[in-house]
Amino acid sequence: MRLYFRLFIESFNFALSALRNNKLRTFLSLLGVTIGIFSIIAVLAAVDSLDKNIKSQLSALDSNTMYVARMSFGPTDVPRWVRQTFDDISYSEYKFLGSNVNDIDYMAYQLFVRRENIRYGSEQVESVNTVAVSREFEDIQRLEFSKGRFYNESESVAGKPVVVIGDEIAKSLFGDLEPIGKKVRLYGQKFTVIGVVKKEGSGLFGDSNDESIFLPANFVRTRFGENNRNITPVVIIKPSDGADIDEVKADITGLLRSRRGLKPEEVDTFFINIISGLQDAIDGIIATMNLIGWVISGFSLLVGGFGIANIMFVSVKERTNLIGIQKSMGAKNHFILFQFLFEAVILAVVGGFVGLALVWIGTLIANGLATDFEFVLSFWNMFIGFFISSIIGLIAGLIPAFSAARLDPVEAIRTGM
């Protein structure tokens, strides 16, 4: 055992000595592996960060929350030209479902509208995320307030000109002033600010409640009518705890099909989108992004591996005379083999370490910037980087190492001379 340990140490020292004596060659070899490992780990870290941030936002909603609309939030087999003929979910259908669907806690009506400008005096915030919803939206989203309140049922049904604003909107419009009770200009008329949503940070897909405003859906519906194709109505349903989701979905489907007079052979003219299904779709997208990242980064690693193999062949050729002398003095084949294998693995591991260090520094810089998006570099990704770099070095050094170990000592000395 001591003999093998000594052989291991001596082979390792020979490899380090060879790398120190050829600094430029070592640097160029490291560069290829560093770029490859940096590419892979950077992609994995970016995709993991995106996945974590999206799911942290989705966690604010019950995974069983349903969105009933004329459009699908994910892939569908229904052709686009067929989907374009579907009618919007009407307000009367929303009230009909609210009166007839069982096993639900809350049901809200939302209109997806364009972004609007909001003004107070000389201050204006442009292109604000405008959320037109009924009162129940507060319960589904579990909104919290730093000041004021959400609008009540009577204000929601009557479509009163009241508005709830996000934390950033309040700061931009009012600064240190008290926002509650102030009149702001929106849709060409005055709205009364009745609440400020508590600061929460970044939101899903870029929009956050901090940069949003909330107003009664019936105000928009009354102002623009039911048949405006620039406005997309959605019914949001939160099933009761313990409810059978498939039964609730089937209940909604049956009621809407009956109300719309659809025949058995006709397809549904609406979609019931479930948050858990959206999570599955996101998982599929993340998996695809990971695969694409691996393929692209794999080419960088391949170049790095070929670079190490090429350098190792050059190293074997340059040290042929030394190999012959070592073998003539009794060095075994595995001693020569280990020298070159260690040299290749050290190159790859050091290159991988540098690549990981660059990703770590980039993560610190990105998180140090004033953004709510959190970049993560997991231990698992770091392990993958070290493992892959070691394997690349081992594979790239195998053939050169074997060719060096099989050299005939006499021929090696003669060739070197």
**How confident is the model at residue 317, as a pLDDT?**
72
Residue 276 has pLDDT above 60, yes or no: yes
Q: How many CB atoms lie within 10 A of CB 286?
A: 16
Q: Which two tokens stand for residue 168?
A: 């950033």
Q: Which of 66, 58, 55, 57 is nearest to 273 (CA)?
A: 66
What is the DSSP secondary-structure string of 382-406? HHHHHHHHHHHHHHHHHHHHHHHHT
List, for residues 240-254, the tens digit of each pLDDT value: 888 888 899 999 999
User: What integer is the mean pLDDT of 211-239?
Assistant: 89
Select the highest-mean-pLDDT range: 189-198, 314-323, 342-351, 371-380.
Answer: 189-198
Cα-Cα-Cα-Cα dihedral of 352, 353, 359, 365, to 10°? -160
List, for residues 307-329, the tens digit of each pLDDT value: 777 777 777 776 677 667 767 77
Q: Which helix (H) or strand (E) holds 363?
A: helix 333-368
Could you give the CA distance from residue 247 to residue 253 in angstroms, rounded to a whole number? 10
β-pair partners for 129:
212
Could you give the CA distance from residue 164 to residue 170 in angstroms, rounded to a whole number? 10
Q: Which helix (H) or strand (E) holds 312?
A: helix 275-318
Provide the phi-psi class of 177: left if phi over 0, else alpha when psi is between -120 and 50, else beta: beta
**How confident is the model at residue 61, as a pLDDT?**
55
User: What integer is the mean pLDDT of 140-162?
Assistant: 93
Show me where the domains of the chain are located: 2-57+281-416, 87-269
**Contact assessment for residue 318 and residue 408, using Cβ atoms and an 8 Å cutoff:** no
Residue 22 has pLDDT above 70, yes or no: no
Could you give the CA distance from residue 191 to residue 163 in angstroms, rounded to a whole number? 6
Calculate ∠ Cα 397-402-405, nearest 5°.
120
Q: How confident is the model at residue 286 (pLDDT cuts 50, 70, 90)?
A: confident
DSSP state of 211: G
**Contact assessment for residue 372 and residue 202, using Cβ atoms and an 8 Å cutoff:** yes
* 76-80, 129-133, 308-312, range with the lowest pLDDT: 308-312
Could you give the CA distance from residue 403 to residue 415 in angstroms, rounded to a whole number? 14
What's the whole-model pTM score? 0.62
List, for residues 23-60, the tens digit of each pLDDT value: 666 676 667 777 777 777 777 777 777 777 666 665 55
Could you give the CA distance from residue 229 to residue 287 in angstroms, rounded to a whole number? 35
